[in-house]
Structure 1
């Protein structure tokens, strides 16, 4: 019934995906639309986006899904967000950004991080006092150059004129909520990702001590809210821009690290999901605050109050496949006199170059003839933090062809997931059946490879590429009262297909994985020399 229709905006790194859902006994996808936008990679390690690109993409995709579904704006009874996290949007009193968004990929604040946390007596390279205080209060620590604290400090030092105009510190989703409602809020998962949030039981507040320790102005931090909480209604101005009805309820939603798990149906304690989109991660629902400093894995605040996701991040996942398509599979130097993409023309068999690429390697041998790829094309976070790490094709011979290289890339992405999974399991037991979601999960070939490499049963849910938006819709449905409990969400998101491991492949994958794990330490100094 139309009264249960929810718009969910998934604000990604490369584009906005807008999904329209109807809530009954399941979450039914009525229409979806995507609009891409650029990210500017700067020579000093910066990664920026124009915040107006997000807003305009929301408008254009909203218009499309309403037209495609043949629904009117009166049928939309709730709006929610799933968004990229650890971006920095600094805005003035009127919610106008004072500069471009600093993406989660931005890594230019090396000096600020060094001065802020890499001095004095150290544990694992981090100032011992600040480390222990951070772990006690928030359960994690700002130990990556890409963390928002250091971006904030970079602007303060390098752009004093812009910094003087700052009234609000937002993440990407919070900026868009402010555009929709004229209210300055931040959901608790986004607040946790700043590493200034007191996540101890019974607290759930900004930490004055951490603000003081890291030189953050407390007045810049907005009001804290829960994911399913109604922030307010769409303002008249925002409603006119988006083509929606004024006063349509806007809910807090969550970051992608929180809501992709919800959209995967991994909502109960012990549920594990694996995400593979542009980036990737492993997350297991837990009630415990747990941290593994050595492996860079920690319990992050989830959408559900009182629950965490024990979370290890992979910096580049599907992005490696994009690189393969653009630079390895395609003939980018015009070696051939004539070339035509396999997807061109009315008789094309394949819907996308990715589909053809995966089909073309289906008969390559597991283990890629001993060729191993490291998927660190933009540095890495877990289980080691190193923005200088890069990709390697290891053990190429005269017999190595492109199909083997492509398979090695996929195996390398999945080896890294296994690495995080095994380290996660040492602290918080992972589930035997794992929900696999994200754009990469659309490939049944890769789903089977993931089962074989990890030794886990792999489940793919319906609309695996839309789980962020699905999680946002589920959160809004909770806020509207359409769903009563978080546990109900799992039943609303059915499994599409299941894959079990092939025991015959265990030995070959175990052998390659053992080498894969050693390649970073063997090349750490070389990465530093070449990429400083």
Structure 2
């Protein structure tokens, strides 16, 4: 039986899914690894842990399906975006990877913004934020010049895996778009930006489309795993791009609401012409020649997890949310803003903090629980509204993935707040499914992403908005939109007292 393997390299774990030509997941395996925080605001990881996890995952799957040794037709990747991996001339890791959620680079972001001016937004389509890769490079230049002098290879996490497996040094457009070093429209390294920051272009990897072949497993790797045939490796994509592909976000009118620790509202973009002025991210898609726009809520599922841990530690999530259906939209006058770990879209503010507003003596736990879900969803609607107002987007369907897709009441809430039909996946495999689809396209199983989606992506029954709830939520959302301005100065003043 022919297989492809999709590998999802996440922040805290690596997962692999084995899929056959019928789009069936026939095997899964995953391994966790730690994040190191040597100082406040630092977030680092040893890249060798990722490679160790890949080896374990492949060994596990071969144990489940020994015919993989002759029938595996492709491997591809989804990877955490932005994180910086640097290697020396001997192809050895110089220092731990600086991860996407590392926030040490505020000073470097300011430097980049001042030095690059309008060029950065014009070319990369994004503003300098701590999560992106360029600020991490500038930080190393300024703070670890001895390491910068040794750098021969700069790569993103998933590309480290393909480098180890094939010996070839590449990245794909969707991941490169998150570095601030790519000319997103032209799909080439932005030499004006490289020159501004003294980054030699020869240190950067070759650019490929996500389904393009990187190479075959090296002889050493074939022997290690016991493969009897050459196994092609395909470039893969950034995690959000792969998640969008795996959710079928590959045509106009399609959007995605992804609620994990953070939250993402994402829209399909046919080209790079939309001018979001840096208020939203615009990246290359894993689907060839396409794009997507994205807004981010930094504490989406994290807000719910914090609320449960703090106020209902003994309850399961199902128990915590069991009573919310009895509470009317708007939680009887209670609003929650999910700014508990700063905010990204539409407010780039590292000092804003969350709040409950409108607390009354009649409010009980179900009111607070529903308010948390509503606040998270309102925050993601901020991104939807920017897409509609700034680029004329109209969403006829939104695919809900992650934690927000696991509760029927929350799905209905999304339909009502977004005023759109909500779909969720029959089998949600996240970015790993998108990675497997890229391997399948690269291996010749399908010609296009649309062809692959016909086989790999299926939805449950649609959730339609309820007209009276849409009206109620529109009024409440207008009040929610005032919360940021009303609490900004208070949040900043409180932090100044620490």
The two structures share one fold, judged by TM-score above 0.5: yes
Query: Does structure 1 residue 176 correspond to structure 2 residue 161?
Result: yes
For the Cα contact (< 8 Å) 1:297–1:310, is it kept in 2?
yes
User: Per the alignment, do residues 437 and 88 of structure 1 end up closer, same or farther by CA in structure 2, a change over 3 Å counting?
Assistant: same
Query: Does structure 1 residue 369 correspond to structure 2 residue 332?
Result: yes
Equivalent pairs counted in the alignment come to: 494
User: Per the alignment, do residues 145 and 488 of structure 1 end up closer, same or farther by CA in structure 2, a change over 3 Å counting?
Assistant: same
For residues 133-212 of structure 1, the aligned pairs below 5 Å read: 133-138=119-124, 140-200=125-185, 203-212=186-195
SS in 2 for 1:20: strand
* Cα distance between partner residues in 2 of 1:42 and 1:411: 35
The TM-score, its normalising length taken from structure 1, stands at 0.87
**Counterpart of 1:517?**
481
SS in 2 for 1:359: coil
From 9, 13, 16, give the equivalent of 1:15: 13
TM-superposed deviation, 1:263? 0.5
Query: Does structure 1 residue 431 correspond to structure 2 residue 374?
Result: no
TM-superposed deviation, 1:240? 5.4
TM-superposed deviation, 1:251? 0.5
* Cα distance between partner residues in 2 of 1:172 and 1:302: 18
Query: Does structure 1 residue 494 correspond to structure 2 residue 486?
Result: no
The TM-score, its normalising length taken from structure 2, stands at 0.92
User: Per the alignment, do residues 131 and 115 of structure 1 end up closer, same or farther by CA in structure 2, a change over 3 Å counting?
Assistant: closer
**Counterpart of 2:32?**
36
From 378, 401, 408, give the equivalent of 1:444: 408
From 277, 280, 284, give the equivalent of 2:267: 284
User: Per the alignment, do residues 207 and 183 of structure 1 end up closer, same or farther by CA in structure 2, a change over 3 Å counting?
Assistant: same
**Counterpart of 1:472?**
435
TM-superposed deviation, 1:37? 2.4
Query: Does structure 1 residue 247 correspond to structure 2 residue 243?
Result: no
**Counterpart of 2:103?**
107
From 197, 201, 208, give the equivalent of 1:225: 208
For the Cα contact (< 8 Å) 1:95–1:178, is it kept in 2?
no
SS in 2 for 1:496: coil
* Cα distance between partner residues in 1 of 2:229 and 2:136: 35
**Counterpart of 1:403?**
366
* Runs of 5+ unmatched residues, structure 1: 119-126, 332-341, 343-352
Runs of 4+ in 1 over 6 A off after TM superposition: none
For the Cα contact (< 8 Å) 2:184–2:283, is it kept in 1?
no
For the Cα contact (< 8 Å) 2:441–2:452, is it kept in 1?
no
1:476-504 Cα shifts (integer Å, max 9, x gaps) = 11111101122213322121221001122
1:300-355 Cα shifts (integer Å, max 9, x gaps) = 11123321112222223222233233333205xxxxxxxxxx6xxxxxxxxxx333
* Cα distance between partner residues in 2 of 1:246 and 1:379: 50
* Cα distance between partner residues in 2 of 1:75 and 1:325: 46
TM-superposed deviation, 1:429? 1.2
Query: Does structure 1 residue 313 correspond to structure 2 residue 276?
Result: no
For the Cα contact (< 8 Å) 2:283–2:293, is it kept in 1?
yes
* Cα distance between partner residues in 2 of 1:40 and 1:519: 35
* Cα distance between partner residues in 1 of 2:332 and 2:64: 47
1:419-457 Cα shifts (integer Å, max 9, x gaps) = 111111121413211122224323223211111111110
SS in 2 for 1:108: coil
For the Cα contact (< 8 Å) 2:298–2:341, is it kept in 1?
yes
